[in-house]
Amino acid sequence: MEIPKKVNKKERQVKILKALEKGCTRTAAAGYAGITRMTFYNWMEVKAFAKHVIQAEANARVTMELSLADLAVNQKDRVALFFWLQNRARDDWKNVSKVDVEHSGHVDHNVTHYDFSGYTKEELKEEAVKVAKQLEQIANGSGNIKPVKGIK
């Protein structure tokens, strides 16, 4: 059985750049090259490598945008066309879901304020656990609402 040779840093960086040029995320590219995200970002502190990363990402973006444009225009892909318009001409093509509502009558804004300043952390935790259990029971359809200490 042959022992695999150790992959050097330069080879890993080349793998990362190739993956980024294909459109991978930085995390995916780092994993593909066999390094952690932390190692990747440590390498990014070297200006030459960072410059290559930025260029590879820019190349991927241009490739993707040209592919999208080709789908939209030459392949007559309506989804691609709509996606492009929604993202590049937002003001005119954004997906709007507006509902005009008219209201007549009176609206009360009753806001209840609670003073928990006299509670210890332990008491607050106990009350929070009780409230959580009550909410879970209510959500399951089996609970009754009971007053909680300090809440009126």
Q: What is the pLDDT of residues 35-65, one digit of tens each?
A: 999 999 999 999 999 999 999 999 999 999 8
Does any domain span residue 1? no
Does any domain span residue 28? yes
pTM of the model: 0.55
Do 27 and 48 meet the contact criterion of CB atoms below 8 Å apart?
A: no
Does any domain span residue 89? yes
Query: Are 87 and 16 part of one and the same domain?
Result: yes
Instruction: Please tell me the total count of domains within the chain.
Output: 2
Helix (H) or strand (E) holding 49: helix 47-73
Query: Are 65 and 134 part of one and the same domain?
Result: no
Residue carrying the six token digits 């440590």: 42
Q: What is the pLDDT of residue 29?
A: 98
Per-residue pLDDT of the chain (152 residues; tens, 9 = 90+): 565 667 799 999 999 999 999 999 999 999 999 999 999 999 999 999 999 999 999 999 999 989 988 988 888 888 888 888 888 787 777 777 777 788 888 877 776 777 778 888 888 888 888 877 777 777 777 756 555 555 54
Domain region containing 140: 119-152
Query: Are 53 and 14 part of one and the same domain?
Result: yes
